[in-house]
Amino acid sequence: MQSGRVCLREALEAHFFRGEFSVFIKMQFMLLFSRQGKLRLQKWYVPLSDKEKKKITRELVQTVLARKPKMCSFLEWRDLKIVYKRYASLYFCCAIEDQDNELITLEIIHRYVELLDKYFGSVCELDIIFNFEKAYFILDEFLLGGEAQETSKKNVLKAIEQADLLQENIDFQMRLFSGVMVPNMVSESSGLFQTS
Amino acid sequence: MPAVSKGDGMRGLAVFISDIRNCKSKEAEIKRINKELANIRSKFKGDKALDGYSKKKYVCKLLFIFLLGHDIDFGHMEAVNLLSSNKYTEKQIGYLFISVLVNSNSELIRLINNAIKNDLSSRNPTFMCLALHCIANVGSREMAEAFASEIPRILVAGDTMDSVKQSAALCLLRLYKTSPDLVLMGEWTSRVVHLLNDQHMGVVTAAISLITCLSQKNPDEFKTCVSLAVSRLSRIVSSASTDLQDYTYYFVPAPWLSCKLLRLLQCYPPPEDGAVKGRLVECLETILNKAQEPPKSKKVQHSNAKNAILFEAISLIIHYDSEPNLLVRACNQLGQFLQHRETNLRYLALESMCTLASSEFSHEAVKTHIETVINALKTERDVSVRQRAADLLYAMCDRSNAKQIVAEMLSYLETADYSIREEMVLKVAILAEKYAVDYSWYVDTILNLIRIAGDYVSEEVWYRVIQIVINRDDVQGYAAKTVFEALQAPACHENMVKVGGYILGEFGNLIAGDPRSSPLVQFNLLHSKFHLCSVPTRALLLSAYIKFINLFPETKATIQEVLRCDSQIRNSDVELQQRAVEYLKLSSIASTDVLATVLEEMPPFPERESSILAKLKKKKGPGAVSVTELEDNKREGGELNGGGERGPDTSAMSTPSPSADLLGIRSAVPVGAAPASAGSLLVDVFSEAGPAAVSAAVNDDGFLRFVCKNNGVLFENQLLQIGIKSEYRQNLGRMYLFYGNKTSVQFASFTTTVSCPGELQLQLNVQTKPVEPLVEGGAQIQQVLNIECLTDFSEAPLLNIKFRYGGALQNLTLKLPVTINKFFQPTEMASQDFFQRWKQLSQPTQEAQKIFKASHGMDTEVLKAKLLGLGTALLDNVDPNPENYVCAGVIQTKGQQVGCLLRLEPNAQAQMYRLTLRCSKDSVSKRLCELLAEQF
């Protein structure tokens, strides 16, 4: 526990050098991982080494997966607060600063799930696995630098769809593949909203 | 909308992902990945130019592999190529790769920056947004250098699209966090504030994050945002749930923006303008009222969004801490949440009430919920919620309810989770000490603590109980009686034996009158535990025995016999053996008078901050205890141990230690080798000063680190971090000091003074402006020092910092790293010139030389970097021995110039250096030699 704190501190101290101070960063990172502990998406809003990122991920996945369903969605972890919520087979997990608003962060997660759901059409874990780049693009339209950029669902989707219109080469095989090649992964293909 | 119509599926990528997912083992996965990496590498290296689609596909595969947790060391160039593609998706993938796999290769950075520059000036809003997202995601210093002046322009330009403005605002925020020095305030700043009035809610939502950050650092410049924020908030709060269209979230109008507005207002004190304040209070009341209205939806999202605003409003109310009515209403609202069926709400209510407990207006209101909180401590199923309940009990504790709370916490301890026991123990110990009316209760509580959770009772806790018993004679008899009884238990914790041994050794005589606890009974009781204990405890018991001999001469024979037996006098542990030998000798040689003097009762301990409190602070971070400290100052005035010091300030050294020297007995054991007596065990803790007590110029290390560099962190403790940036030209210098408040609590009366002690004031001229007296929690303030070197100097200017943190005055003095070498101008010269001048400076006083051992590695590049950092010119081909380093420079002072030559001769074999300095002024040679000898 202590060592982890030191590592984050070191990273932050490195930034002090350039005048940065941690408190202004709302969200420090967001992780999406499955019930099996597989990381599906990671977004870091503080600069950390790959090694440190892996360590944090490992620890956090373990901690969150060990929690029981009715427990509260917040926990203190190192010097941060973790806000998490499970949607079907996926856990969405954000790290925020001590004085930040937990409930609004919970709704940040929900809005992101709504955006994914709307974009993919009842989203499931498989959509995020096979279209991971899209999941990142949507996140970037919604949150930038750990802060809410645009909270209107319509506006975010408009931005993404505009981008899609700019594309050529629409490939219809995508969906077929995901369905055919992994028929037995029921949990990953169940809609995130269905069981929540 | 099925995914199939979205995006351009990359078939190869999908196949690859499927393959990976079908791998049965980790090995198979790695094999498949290596195959793919080889394939991609060959495609990238191949003669055939790849088309954009293939390049995108392969870059995307690399990204996928990286995100799986494997290292990727190529593909960056191909990703950069994608940036200049005209096809949006190719560009997009290129940017994503760059953002995730940031690379510090300077050539690449140049290319990336070029591509970004092109996109920023493309006037295509989607391209501009992509470029801004990339800058925000990477946020490196190099990007700040390239774009920090460009982005404010985009942000406030009249023709910028709303979506671009949003990205620009948050991008600028990121750069400001990374490199505040590169984002210059200017004409744009006032226009940014007015973005709070923007028609587009998205623009306001993005801009307010930037404004909040900027106003934390420059509150005065952004003061106008307060009234704008209040009126925006008021419009949102009073709007109907459908007014804001897509910004309404589950019937709650603009929850994110509302929270951000309330957060921005927490950067400032309550508005001075009566009208603005009235409007704000009205908003806060409306928010509180809405909490009582029936919900517009059953969805949890509705109540979460609504309550998110409510909690943020309560934070603001607590921040102002000036509206008793609102504080009490907030408290009642939280009281309702304490019994809510949503675990999340109960958790947050407990957490939020902790801060309310520290306000004098709401402390009493918080106390009325004591039963609910105790119940939560007992029945909550989630340990993190129970933890909050324990925190709240701790925060609401005062003299009136201390006994109840301590009793509840003690009984909770019996079943508490292991993860929180240690902290609970500390809290109980602190509360028991702080609110002890009669000290017998205190002693009982701590002994109970040891009984219930002995393993979690740290040294600090049992040291403290001994310290208090020694300092208060009215409780000594009771303590002796109680430990005696506690020791009767067949299995008692070793910590109990320690406390028992110590207390009976000191005060056993107070209960010796009772035949049931006669001296011999006491001794036999203690000794019955002896063999089960660890070495340190046995050592302590041996000291207790020798004290017994003094207290009760009748036990002398029995104890001597124990000491004399082989298991003591020939114990394999040196410490135990030595004690046994010395004590035995002492007891047989010394006269009763001498014995009485040596083994006299412990003198009272000097009063200081409870080391337990320091420990809890360390554990929890300072925020957690500030509440009680505040109360402390408000209500108690620190009365434990009966105000002030009793008796002389006995230093640690006067602790009676069985030093044979004192008695003139020269035993076989070396004198003074028995310092670890029970007394000095105690002393150890007290030498570990709490964070509040910092004495003069503590940063010698920090100071020396700056001889060869100008920037870095000068000092850091749990509360404060001080960073330095400095630059020097000729005989002038400028130093920027950054004071960062690491806590969440405001520093009040923050003052800094720079002084030049002694003759330094004639040698160095340092000027500065006073800093703002308030440093908000988490904020950083900056101070500029202008420095002029009048003549050469050896001492360092001192920086004294004073501030109040949670009521306690902090005082800190640091050496500022202004050293004579900072005023060096490098001088290039040829070999011949160098040696000619070297010879000219041949008077013995002009030379200073030191031979010293290398304390760091002797790496050439590191050495060179240090010598350059020193400020001199590093001269090549001057010294006939290429292993040696020679440097030359001129120190510029106002009055004169001092020429300096330096020669450093490393001896790698011996790991030694010889450093020689010759300067036109003797004192400079000497000083430089001193400073430099510590650097290598």
CA B247, B249, B253, B255 dihedral sign is negative
Q: Which structural domains are found in chain B, ordered by start?
A: 10-78 (no CATH), 457-615 (no CATH), 704-818 (2.60.40.1230), 821-934 (3.30.310.10)
Q: Which chain A residues are closer than 8 Å to B213 by Cβ?
A: 24
| Confidence tier at B643 by pLDDT (50, 70, 90) | very low
Q: Which domain holds residue A85?
A: 24-178
Supply the mean pLDDT for chain B. Answer: 84
* Contacts with B141 from chain A: Cβ below 8 Å: 18
- Residue A166 contacts B where some CB pair is shorter than 8 Å: yes
- The mean per-residue pLDDT over the stretch B79-90 comes to 90
Question: Apex CA B212: angle with CA B98 and CA B207, to 5°?
Answer: 60
pLDDT in tens, A17-30: 333 333 344 789 99
For Cα atoms B104, B106, B107, give the angle at the middle one, nearest 5 degrees: 125
The verdict on A195 touching B (C-beta cutoff 8 Å) is: no
- Strands B252-253 and B248-249, by their bridges, are antiparallel
Q: In this complex, do A104 and B171 lie within 8 Å of one another by their Cβ atoms?
A: no
Assigned token pair, B298: 């059953």
Q: B608: distance to nearest CA of chain A, Å?
A: 27
Neighbouring CB atoms inside 10 A of B621's CB total: 17
Residues 110-139 of chain B whose Cβ lies under 8 A from any Cβ of chain A: 126, 129, 132-133, 136-137, 139
What are the angstrom distances between the C-alpha of A5 and each of A9, A10, A65, A170, B526?
Answer: 6, 9, 21, 47, 42
The DSSP result for B818-874, as a single string, is: --GGGGEEE----HHHHHHHHHHT-SGGGEEEEEEE-SS---HHHHHHHHHHHTSEE
B residues 259..318 contacting A (CB < 8 A): 259-260, 263, 301, 304-305, 307-308, 311-312, 315
Compute the radius of gyration of chain A from its Cα atoms.
Answer: 18
CB atoms within 10 A of CB B931: 18
Query: Is the pTM for the entire model greater than 0.90?
Result: no
A174 at the B interface (CB within 8 A)? yes
Which residue does chain A place closest to B144, by CA atoms?
A18
Q: What is the pLDDT of residue A194?
A: 55
Q: Which residues of B are annotated as a binding site?
A: 11-12, 43, 53, 57-61
If phi > 0 it is left, if psi is from -120 to 50 it is alpha, else beta; for residue B554 that is alpha
Neighbouring CB atoms inside 10 A of B667's CB total 15
CA distance linking residue B6 with residue A196, whole number of Å: 25
A151 part of a folded domain: yes
Can you name the residues that pair with B734 across neighbouring β-strands? B727, B786
Shortest Cα–Cα distance, A160 to chain B (Å): 10
The pLDDT score that the predictor gives to residue B701 is 67
By the CB < 8 Å criterion, does A53 face chain B?
no
d(Cα A61, Cα A159) in Å, to the nearest integer?
32
Could you tell me if B816 lies within 8 Å of chain A, comparing CB atoms? no
Q: Is the pLDDT of residue A3 over 70?
A: no
The pLDDT of residue A16 is 35
pLDDT above 90: residue B618: no
CA angle (B344, B345, B347) in 5-degree steps: 65
CA distance A172 to A169: 9
The answer to whether B88 contacts A144, with C-beta atoms less than 8 Å apart, is no
Residues 451-490 of B with CB under 8 A from A: none
Question: Is A159 in Cβ contact with B738 (below 8 Å)?
Answer: no
pLDDT at B241: 67
Report chain A's mean pLDDT, rounded to a whole number: 77
* pLDDT the model gives residue B46: 83
Whether residue B460 contacts residue B427, with contact meaning beta carbons closer than 8 Å, is answered with: no
Residue A148 contacts B where some CB pair is shorter than 8 Å? yes
- A83: closest chain B residue by CA: B344
> Which strand ranges, in their side-by-side order, compose the sheet holding B798-805?
B747-755, B798-805, B808-815
- What's the confidence (pLDDT) of residue A166? 66
Lowest-pLDDT range of B11-20, B629-638, B695-704: B629-638
Give all strands (DSSP E) within B717-807, no chain letters: 720-729, 732-741, 747-755, 764-768, 780-789, 798-805
Q: Which of A68, A106, A152 sits opposite B246 (nearest CB)?
A: A152
What are the helix and strand counts (H, E) for chain A? 8, 7
Dmax (CA) for chain A in angstroms is 53
For residue B158, report the phi and psi dihedrals to the nearest 5 degrees: -65, -30
Give B715's contacts (C-beta < 8 A, 6+ positions apart).
B698, B699, B702, B721, B722, B812, B814
What residue of B is the nearest CA neighbor of A115?
Answer: B1
Asked if A26 is an interface residue toward chain B (Cβ–Cβ < 8 A), one would say: yes
Tell me which residues of chain B, numbers 846 to 865, contact chain A at a CB-CB cutoff of 8 Å: none
Arithmetic mean of pLDDT, B171-192 = 89
Residue A83 lies in a domain: yes
Domain count, chain A: 1
* Cβ contacts of B472 within 8 Å, gap of 6 or more: B439, B641, B642
Q: Closest chain B residue to A10 measured between Cα atoms?
A: B713
Of A186-195, B168-177, B406-415, B824-833, least confident by mean pLDDT is A186-195
pLDDT at A182 over 50: no
Could you give the CA distance from residue A5 to residue B837 in angstroms, rounded to a whole number? Answer: 54
Q: B467-490, pLDDT tens digit by residue?
A: 889 888 888 999 999 999 999 988
- Domain with A87 in it: what CATH number? 3.30.450.60
Closest Cα to residue B841, out of B923, B918, B922, B928?
B918
Nearest to B136 among A20, A76, A144 (CB): A144
Vertex B880: Cα angle to B877 and B884 (nearest 5): 80
Q: Give all strands (DSSP E) within A46-89, no chain letters.
A: 74-77, 80-87
CA distances for B879 relative to B133, B379, B816, B863, B867, angstroms = 53, 79, 35, 16, 15
CA distance, residue B325 to nearest chain A CA (Å)? 24
Structure tokens, B411:
């009984």
**CA–CA min distance B18, chain A (Å):** 7
Q: What distance in Å separates the CA atoms of residue A69 and residue A71, rounded to the nearest whole number?
A: 6
- Distance from A141 to chain B by nearest Cα, in Å? 8
Of B827, B829, B760, B832, nearest to B798 by C-alpha is B760
How far apart are alpha carbons B235 and B828 in whole angstroms? 68
Q: Do A175 and B777 touch (CB under 8 A)?
A: no
Q: Are A83 and A28 in contact (CB under 8 A)?
A: no
DSSP structural state of residue B182: T
Nearest to A171 among B1, B11, B170 (CB): B11
| pLDDT, average across residues B547-576 | 88
Top-confidence residue, B9 or B811? B811
DSSP B552-580: -GGGHHHHHHHHHSHHHHT-SSHHHHHHH
Nearest to B915 by CA among B866, B816, B792, B705: B866
A133 at B interface, C-beta within 8 A: yes
The interface pTM score, or ipTM, of the predicted complex is 0.81
Shortest CB distance from B9 goes to which of A20, A42, A174? A174
Q: Residue B816 and residue B724: Cα distance in Å, rounded?
A: 9
Q: How far B769 CA sits from the closest chain A CA (Å)? A: 20
Who among A110, A119, A132 is closest to B6 (CB)?
A: A119
**B29: helix, coil or strand?**
helix
pLDDT value of position B658 = 35
Q: Do A121 and B3 touch (CB under 8 A)?
A: yes
The nearest alpha carbon in chain B to A54 belongs to: B69
Per-residue pLDDT for B167 more than 80? yes
Return the bridge partners of A82, or none: A75, A95
Model confidence pLDDT, tens digit, residues B880-934: 888 888 899 888 888 888 888 988 888 888 888 888 889 888 888 888 888 888 8
Backbone φ, ψ for residue B78 (5° rounding): -65, -40
Rounded distance between C-alpha atoms, residue B424 and residue B391, angstroms = 9
Percentage of residues in chain B with pLDDT exceeding 70?
89
A136–B96 C-beta distance less than 8 A = yes
Q: Which amino acid is located at B392 in the chain? A: L
Question: Is the pLDDT score of B654 beyond 50?
Answer: no
Give the nearest chain A residue to B8 (CA atoms).
A170
Residue A61 covered by a domain = yes
| Size of chain A in residues | 196
Query: Is the CB of B8 less than 8 angstroms away from the CB of A171?
Result: yes
Q: What is the pLDDT confidence band of residue B500, given thresholds at 50, 70 and 90?
A: very high
Interface probe, candidates B20, B209, B334, chain A, greatest A C-beta count within 10 A? B209
Does A195 reside within a domain?
no
The pLDDT value given to residue B349: 95
**Ramachandran region, residue B700 (left: φ > 0; alpha: ψ -120 to 50; beta: rest):** alpha
- Does A21 contact B713 at a Cβ distance shorter than 8 Å? no
For position B660, what pLDDT does the model report? 30
CB pairs under 8 A between A and B: 265
Q: Check CB contact under 8 Å for B7 and A164.
A: yes
User: A80 to chain B, minimum CA–CA distance in Å?
Assistant: 11
What was the pLDDT predicted at B681?
35
Coil, helix or strand at residue B726? strand
Give A91 to chain B, closest Cα distance, Å: 17
pLDDT in tens, B781-818: 888 888 988 888 888 898 889 888 877 788 888 888 89
Give the integer Cα–Cα distance in Å for B352 and B338.
11
Q: Does A14 touch chain B (CB under 8 A)?
A: no
Question: Are B259 and A177 in contact (CB < 8 Å)?
Answer: no
Nearest in space to A158 (alpha carbons), one of B162, B628, B692: B162
Q: Taking 80 as the threshold, does the pLDDT of residue B41 lie above it?
A: yes
Touching A: B residues 57-76, CB under 8 Å: 60, 63-64, 67, 69, 71
